[in-house]
């Protein structure tokens, strides 16, 4: 199996999708990211990340119901796959284990 890697922004998007759980679609992800990161993010960047994550198999998507909002366009909801969850877990454990190795000294 190819060892997939995650870019920083991709990881954030993946985390966000996981956090939003079943309610994640482009605009919500964008808004939450902007709120958490406290900076402007372009929707196209989010879409690029979403496509890549889907291609890597970390995300799956489904269409929402038809509404009159959004010019009649359906929402595309993303959710994390088992592989994506494992990836997040691995990342998390990697980071915490590394974090724990930091000697308890003060940084000045």
Partner 1 sequence: MEIYPPKNAVKFLRWFCREDYVEEIEGDLTEIFEKDYKVSQRKASWKFIFSVIKYFRPGFIKSFKSDYQPNHQAMFRHNLLLTYRNFKRYKSSFLINLIGLSTGLACTFLIYLWVSDELNVDRFNSKDNRLFRAMEHRVRATGIWTSPTTPGPLAEALTGDMPEVEHAITATWSQSTTLSLGDKNITTDGRFVGKDFFNMFSYELIAGDANQVLKDKNSIVISDVLARKLFNTTENLIGKAIDYQHESQLQITGIFKSMPVNASDQFEFVASFEKYREGEDWLLSWGNTGTQTLVLLKPGVDVNAFNKKIADYIKVKTNNEITYRTLFLKGYADNYLYGKYENGVLVGGRITYVKLFSIIAVFILLIACINFMNLSTARASRRVKEVGIKKAIGAGRKALIFQYIGESMVMSFLSLLVAMVLVYIFLSQFNIITGKHLSFELDSNRILLFLGVTVFTGIVAGSYPALYLSGFNPATVLKGKLSSSFGELMARKGLVVFQFAISVLFIVSVVVVYKQIEFVQSTNLGYNKNNLVYFNLSGALSKTENQEIMIEEMKKIPGIENVSSTNHNLTGHNGGTSGVEWEGKNPEDRTEFERMIGNYDLIETLGIQMAEGRSFSRNFGTDSSAIIFNQKGIDFMGMKDPIGKVVKLWGEDRHIIGVVNDFHYESLHENFKPVFFILDPNRTYRIMARITAGKEKETISSIESLYKKLNPGFLFEYNFLDTVYQSQYENEQRVAILSKYFAGLAILISCLGLFGLAAFTAERRLKEMGIRKVLGSSELGIVYLLSSDFTKIVFVAIVIALPISYFMARYWLDGFAFSVPLQPWYFIAVGVLAMVIAWLTVGTQAIRAARVNPTLCLKNE
How many other C-beta atoms are found inside a 10 Å radius of the C-beta of residue 63?
11
Q: Which two tokens stand for residue 74?
A: 């359906």
Exactly one of 15, 18, 20, 48 binds partner 1 (CB under 8 A); that residue is: 48
Q: Note whether 58 and 14 are within 8 A (CB).
A: yes
Q: Could you tell me the smallest distance in angstroms from the CB atom of residue 26 to partner 1?
A: 4
Helix, strand, coil fractions of the chain, as percent rounded to 5: 55, 10, 35
- In whole angstroms, what is the distance from residue 62 CA to residue 95 CA? 31
What are 63's strand-pairing partners? 76
Exactly one of 23, 26, 32, 79 binds partner 1 (CB under 8 A); that residue is: 26
Under the binding rule (CB under 8 A), the answer on residue 30 touching partner 1 is yes
Stretch touching partner 1 by CB under 8 A, among 5-13, 15-23, 46-54, 97-105: 46-54
Under the binding rule (CB under 8 A), the answer on residue 25 touching partner 1 is yes
Under the binding rule (CB under 8 A), the answer on residue 74 touching partner 1 is yes
Chain contacts with partner 1 (rule: CB under 8 A): 25-27, 30, 42-44, 47-48, 51, 63, 69-71, 73-76
């Amino acid at each position: 199996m190819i060892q997939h890697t995650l870019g920083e922004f991709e990881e954030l998007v993946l985390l966000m999708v996981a956090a939003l759980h079943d309610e994640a679609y482009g605009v919500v992800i964008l808004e939450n990211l902007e709120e958490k990161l406290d900076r402007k993010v372009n929707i196209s960047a989010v879409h690029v990340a979403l496509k890549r994550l889907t291609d890597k198999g970390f995300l799956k998507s489904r269409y929402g119901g038809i509404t009159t909002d959004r010019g009649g366009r359906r929402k595309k909801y993303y959710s994390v796959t088992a592989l994506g969850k494992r990836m997040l877990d691995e990342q998390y454990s990697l980071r915490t284990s590394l974090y724990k190795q930091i000697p308890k000294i003060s940084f000045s």
